[in-house]
Amino acid sequence: LDYAEQSGIPVTSTKSKPWSMDENLAHCSYEAGILEDPNVTPPEDMWKLTVDPTKAPEQPEDFVLHFEKGLPVKAELPGGKTVTDATELFLAVNAIARKHGVGRIDIVENRFIGLKSRGCYETPGLTCLRAAHIDLEGLTMDREVRALRDQFLTFNYAKILYNGLYFSPECKFLLQCVAASQDSVNGAVRCRVYKGAFSVLGRWSDTEKLYDMDESSMDVIGDFRPEDTTGFISVNAIRLKKYGRMMEEAGKKM
């Protein structure tokens, strides 16, 4: 800090606020200085993007996010305003989330080189968009496609981005897989922000039909017959019966 002052180099850190900040359109990160002690509580005046959740508005705020092929394409905002431009949509959701204190985290992570690092992050708008997107996937994505995506793509894509390898052949490959997985993620999510929390109020899709309310109902008899499960249960129990018998013969409790 002394060198920066002597050399006329503008920096955001001061001796009274000794931490580094790195801000972009999506988020702000805070590291170093007093934050290197993982047991030090970040001072409240450190957070520059979001309102303290305890001081956020007393009334929740609701909005609707629409997705096509996994991408947000429209936001229906409080007051009846609708936004479709990608940048304006992000900034609008970001503003709502910031006002309600959504998107703060304080974590200890593992760096690429093997060292652990403590970081504090504010990602208000993307916290809402990501949570809404994941919720809509539950309604519209095939079970096995989603399981494979989460098992192989999600962790590795996050790792690639964290390690600064976006412009790599492996990232190009994963992005193509991610895009294919999102073909069916079409619909809308009703969202609420309140006192630092994001919650989903409901979701729907006019084009995807994986979810059928009648088939899933406990009150309506549809094409699915409960007696069909008899064979399914018996077949799935074969290996469990063998395992139980083996444990019994070995004198071990299940």
Do residues 186 and 74 make contact, with C-beta atoms less than 8 angstroms apart? no
Helix H or strand E segment including 118: strand 116-122
135-to-107, 193, 198, 200 alpha-carbon distances in Å:
24, 15, 12, 8
If one counts the domains in the chain, the total is 1
Residue 176 within a domain? no
Q: Tell me the residue range of the domain where 191 lies.
A: 20-141+184-209
CA atoms within 13 A on the CB side of 36: 7
**CA gyration radius for the chain?**
24
Residue 14 within a domain? no
Residue 107 within a domain? yes
pLDDT of residue 221: 66
Residue 100 within a domain? yes
pLDDT of residue 218: 67
pLDDT of residue 18: 78
Residue 165 within a domain? no
Domain of 72, CATH number, reads 3.90.1260.10
Whether the CA torsion 149, 131, 63, 200 is positive or negative: it is positive
Q: Which residues of the chain have pLDDT under 50?
A: none
Residue 6 within a domain? no
Residue 50 within a domain? yes
pLDDT of residue 220: 67
Q: Quick one: which of 192, 235, 246 has its CA closest to 60?
A: 192
Q: How many Cβ atoms are within 10 Å of 234's Cβ, its own excluded?
A: 10
pTM of the model: 0.86
Residue 29 within a domain? yes
Do residues 172 and 39 make contact, with C-beta atoms less than 8 angstroms apart? no
